[in-house]
Every structure is written in structure tokens, then in C-alpha cells.
Structure 1
């Protein structure tokens, strides 16, 4: 391994000067997909602070590419009050393996079936307040079948030239974290 990776590993080691010890924790709200928890923490200088955390089951997504074009889903996101372009993805069901979730979501949303999924990257979208963890896979050996959207799920499949998708990321037109992370990781690894 390179010296740079050793520097990164050391930077990620436990550091008492930055550590926040949880003193108390209370679930404030619990829903089907996530819960909200309030924690009191003791900081390294002895002072105390409050942290509001969103606990989430996590998700999985797929970078699917055919003929130089990446498969994206176009959908309205009420939290943003606008349309987004995202890789096919969804939440992991309890005890569901992440690759199984990714394959299921790919087929449900787009009708695509992959012969094999390869893990591209793991990402935490907003670690300042949530533990939501997304695994992003690259799809190999794609075939097209029928989609099977969940009840109440409305989206369109959009095929975008890979270079255009990367430029759209640079311009902020594609700004969903899992999508940006997945496409750029696939490009960095020479898969695009």
C-alpha cells in the first residue's frame, strides 16, 4: 500500500481529543424508514452538547451502463421540491443483503437484470446527523425486462451519455450523493 493510504488510515484512528462520549440517548420519533434520536454527549474538554441524529436502515444503488450510456431514474423529490436524476436505488429491508437490495431495486425501477453486481463504493451521505449508509454497485451483463414499480412510486428511466453525466455532475445538474459517488467511482476505476 502507498504511504498516502497509511496517512489516511492514521487520520481515521480514534483520537481522544476529538472524541464525543454519549452520556444519554433517547428516541424522539420512530418511523418505518428512519428514527430520530437525541443524544447528550460529553466533549473532550468536559463540556456537554446535544446531537440530534437520524437513524436509517440504509440503502443500495446501481450504476448500470449500456452502449456508453448510464441508466438514471427521473423522479420528483418532495424534500427538494424538484426533479432529480439518480441511479436506481432503494432502502435495504431488515436483514436483506445489500447486493440483493441493489439487484431488486434495479429490476423494480428499470426492468434491468444484471448477471453480476460488483461493489463500487460505500458512502455516508450526511454523517453530521445521520448514519444512513449506501452501498453502490456496478452492474455487469445487463438484460432488459419489465419494470415493477412499487405502489405509489412514479419515475421515468432516462439513459444519459456517460460523458454528459459526468459534466452534469460538474455543473451540479446531477447532485444526488449516491449518484455522484457511484458514477465518479466507476469512472475512476476505469469502468466507464
Structure 2
């Protein structure tokens, strides 16, 4: 990776350090346990300060759940906010007293009715870092046993085990509309976790 003003050279280039934006203050507009909206006064390098809208959302977890046949469990559901329907991985918030792995196990049990084993973090990333501070933690887990109907059964129309090749097709065909699930599944497929 090189600066576009310079000719590209073979090999890995040193990355320049990012120029930091100075945060001058924060003015809350709305606050709840689920989401906060604030105006944050910032000064970009070489620019006049201005107020930028920031959505503050607690961290969350997303789980790529696999079975012994190397299939992935996906939920099919409607999202009223975007008025879209499609496939997703189990996901949700992380309680204050939970580790990422504990939150993953709880969310899988609540949303799909399975217990998990071998839950291990894959990676973490910011969801929409231009407007939100939310960070998602992605976990790979193995299905252990079916414990019964999920407590949060209302959150999905159906739950299905999907072969990896079919996961790729669902993504390609736009049947996985959410970036959270798309990123987690592509990561798991690329690094051969499924």
C-alpha cells in the first residue's frame, strides 16, 4: 500500500501514521440503555472544528455456529428498520458480566435453541465507524446439543443448517442483507473455519 501521489514499489510499504482528529467536547442529544445520540465537536487536521453526529451503541457479538457436517446455522428473518428479509447469524448484545464467549453461547441458546462448545473469538471490527462507536465481536462455535425451542423464537421465521457452498451462493444472491452476517460468514469461509 502506498500513497497515491507516489509510484507503487514492490513489497510491503510502511503505513504512515494516521493524523488524529481532536475531540473538543460532547453534547448528548438522547440517551438510553440501547443507544445514545450525541453531537461531538471535532477538529480535523488543518480544518475548522465542527459538530459531528455520533451514535453510541454497546458492543455486540455475532456467532458462526457449525455442526459436525460443517454446515452453518442461519436464521431467516425480517428486519423492519430496513424492510428487508434474509439470512443472518445469531447475534446480540453482551451483558456487563459476560465475556464475549459467554455472550455468544447465551445468544445462540436464546435465538436458535442450541448449546455450544469450543466457542473461540475470530475477530472484532467496528460496525459503521463513520457514525457509530459500536464494535462487533465475532465468534466461531460448534453446536453441542439441541436444548429445545429458542426463547427468542419470535426473532426468526426459521432456522436452517446450510452447506458452505450454499452460504456463498446466498451471499452472492443478496440473501444475506446485513453486513454483520456477511462479514462474519465471508471471514469464516475465507479462512476455512467452515
TM-score range, shorter chain: 0.7 to 0.9
Q: From the superposition, tell whether residues 153 and 35 of structure 1 become closer, same or farther in structure 2 (CA, over 3 Å).
A: farther
Shift of 1:138: 0.8
Aligned-partner SS, 2:96: coil
Alignment partner of 1:186 out of 176, 188, 191: 188
CA drift of 1:146 comes to 1.3
- Which string of whole-angstrom CA distances, capped at 9 and with x for unpartnered residues, describes residues 127-171 of structure 1? 110011111111135322213324x94312122221111122123
* Structure 1 residue 58, shift from structure 2 partner: 1.3
1:61, 1:138 → 2: CA distance? 9
Alignment of 1:39-118 (within 5 A): 39-66=40-67, 67-118=69-120
Give yes or no for contact 1:57–1:94 (8 Å, CA) kept in 2: no
Q: Structure 2: which 5+ runs fail to align?
A: 1-10
Aligned residues: 182
Runs of 4+ in 1 over 3 A off after TM superposition: none
Match of 1:144 in 2: 146
Q: 1:81 to 1:141 in 2, by over 3 A?
A: closer
Q: Distance in 1 between matches of 2:154 and 2:134?
A: 21
Return 5+ residue gaps in structure 1 as ranges: none
What is the aligned partner in structure 1 of residue 134 from structure 2? 132
User: Alpha-carbon deviation of 1:32?
Assistant: 2.4
CA contact (8 A) 2:43 2:49 kept: yes
Q: Secondary structure at the match of 1:64?
A: strand
Q: RMSD value over aligned CA atoms?
A: 2.0
Classify the secondary structure of the residue corresponding to 2:187: helix
Q: Which has the larger radius of gyration?
A: 2
